[in-house]
Structure 1
Amino acid sequence: MNNYTNDNTARRYKAHVSILGTTQLHLRNPYIIAWWSAAFPGFGHLILSKYFRGYVLFIWEVVVNINAHVNLSMIYSFQGNIDLAKEVLNTRWLIMYIPVYLFAIWDSYRTTVDMNRVYLLAEREEHRFNSFTLGALEINYLDKRNPILSLIWSLFIPGLGQLYIHRILTAFFVIIWLVIFFYYSHCLEAVSLLFLGKIKEATSVLKPEWLLFIPSHYGFAMYDSYINTVENNKLFEKELRNHLKENYQASGFRISKGQKVK
């Protein structure tokens, strides 16, 4: 591994390895990022590693959604109880909810487009970046990991896939909020009653407005860990290839196009 550091002497870097994780620029589909923001405001920004903005939008979504009874209204709509769905909505909170929800979708799309442009410039400039960091609390370095394992660990408990690839900030955030969602939805209590065959009791203890957060949480954790594992592997391969070329390839080495090696 090299000893390069991101010391802001270059205009743009493709990646940065710190004790809290590996952050990198790579091409993303802005429509997919916008979709994740629509599924749950904040997720699109977290995929982009825009952590503070993502945290604010995520917490806003939970607080305002619960107080506006958006999830509860959605559940009644799914059941065909349209009148009840309208009745439970709290307009004092709902009017605040809509503009921020739309902003999250628009801003994640706009940011993705901008970051794709920055990536293309950084790729052209080819400045070296650090690939190893050693601190008092953690060690992080570029290496290859299995994206399927990231997916499986996230399927067990969201956040474990992020821990596997050393995406510490996202991992802690996802795990903490998973515990909150499990606690307030009584999901695990319902699962225990279900195993005991008490189906009606299991259904009655559930808090659907909190339960509805969990599928998006699982989906995000699985997608984020898988995609970042794939991209980290690409980054590792390219960094290693450049390192080997600089330090071990003969300066006069050439590959002649169209000629077979005998």
Structure 2
Amino acid sequence: MNNYTNDNTARRYKAHVSTLGTTQLHLRNPYIIAWWSAAFPGFGHLLLSKYLRGYALFLWEVVVNINAHVNLSMIYSFQGNIDMAKDVLNTRWLLMYIPVYIFGIWDSYRTTIDMNRVYLLAEREDHRFNSFALGAVEINYLDKRNPVLSIIWSLFIPGLGQLYIHRLLTALFVIGWLVIFYYYSHVQEAVSLLVLGKVKEATSVLKPEWLLFIPSHYGFALYDSYINTVENNKLFEKELRAHLQENYQSTGFKILKGQKVM
């Protein structure tokens, strides 16, 4: 391990390892990030490690969506009850919902493009960064982990995949909101009744306006844990390669390119 710290001696850093997690720059597809913002405002920004902005948009989505009855209107429209879908909407909240929803998509797309440019500059600068963090309550370090295990743990409970790769801020956020969605949707109660064969009762106890949040929550947890495991592995390999070259490779070592034999 090295003693490098991100102390502003370089203009740009590719990554930062802290006790709360590993934050890094890497190339992202702006359309995918924008899609996640469309699926659930805030998710696109969380993928970019823009936590405060992501939390604000996420909270806005939950509060305004519930009060505007957007999810309930969507369910009625899926069932073909267009009149009920229109009647249930609360326009006082809906008119606030639309501008922020569009902003979340636009801002995540714009930010992704900017961060991709910053990554390319940081990659060219190639300044060393800290790879080990030791604190009073946590230890974090670069290491290789299995992306498949991240997916498996996220399937059990969203957030466990993030805990596996030490992405603590996202893990606590995802797990906390999953508990809220489970509680208010009564999905656990419905599953228990379904196992007992009480299908009608299981359906009746569900709160669809809260239930509709859960699929996006699961999908995000799976995608985020998998992508960040893959990128953390790449970062570990780059850092280890640089460390070995700097400390163990002979200064006179050169790789000669051979001529292609026709």
| TM-score band, normalised by shorter chain | over 0.9
TM-score (norm 1): 0.99
Alignment partner of 1:22: what SS? strand
Shift of 1:139: 0.1
1:72-221 pair list within 5 angstroms = 72-221=72-221
Shift of 1:259: 6.5
Q: Give percent identity, aligned residues only.
A: 88
The equivalent residue for 1:235 is 235
Alignment partner of 1:133: what SS? strand
Residue segments in structure 1 that go unaligned for 5+ positions in a row: none
Residue segments in structure 2 that go unaligned for 5+ positions in a row: none
The equivalent residue for 1:40 is 40
Question: d(CA) in 2 for partners of 1:178 and 1:6?
Answer: 34
Shift of 1:229: 0.1
- How many equivalent residue pairs? 260
Question: d(CA) in 2 for partners of 1:82 and 1:163?
Answer: 42
One-letter amino acid of the structure 1 residue matched with residue 121 of structure 2 = L
Question: d(CA) in 1 for partners of 2:97 and 2:88?
Answer: 15
Shift of 1:83: 0.3
Question: d(CA) in 2 for partners of 1:167 and 1:259?
Answer: 46
Alignment partner of 1:71: what SS? helix
CA deviations 1:118-146 (Å, max 9, x no partner) are 00000000000000000001000000000
RMSD, matched Cα: 0.8
Shift of 1:9: 1.4
The equivalent residue for 1:257 is 257
Question: d(CA) in 2 for partners of 1:248 and 1:8?
Answer: 27
Shift of 1:37: 0.1
Q: Which runs of 4+ in 1 moved over 4 A?
A: none
Question: d(CA) in 2 for partners of 1:9 and 1:255?
Answer: 31
Alignment partner of 1:13: what SS? coil
Shift of 1:56: 0.2
Question: d(CA) in 1 for partners of 2:240 and 2:74?
Answer: 50
CA deviations 1:146-195 (Å, max 9, x no partner) are 00000010011000000000000000000000000000000000000000
The equivalent residue for 1:31 is 31
Question: d(CA) in 1 for partners of 2:50 and 2:169?
Answer: 11
TM-score (norm 2): 0.99
The equivalent residue for 2:49 is 49
Shift of 1:8: 1.1
One-letter amino acid of the structure 2 residue matched with residue 19 of structure 1 = T
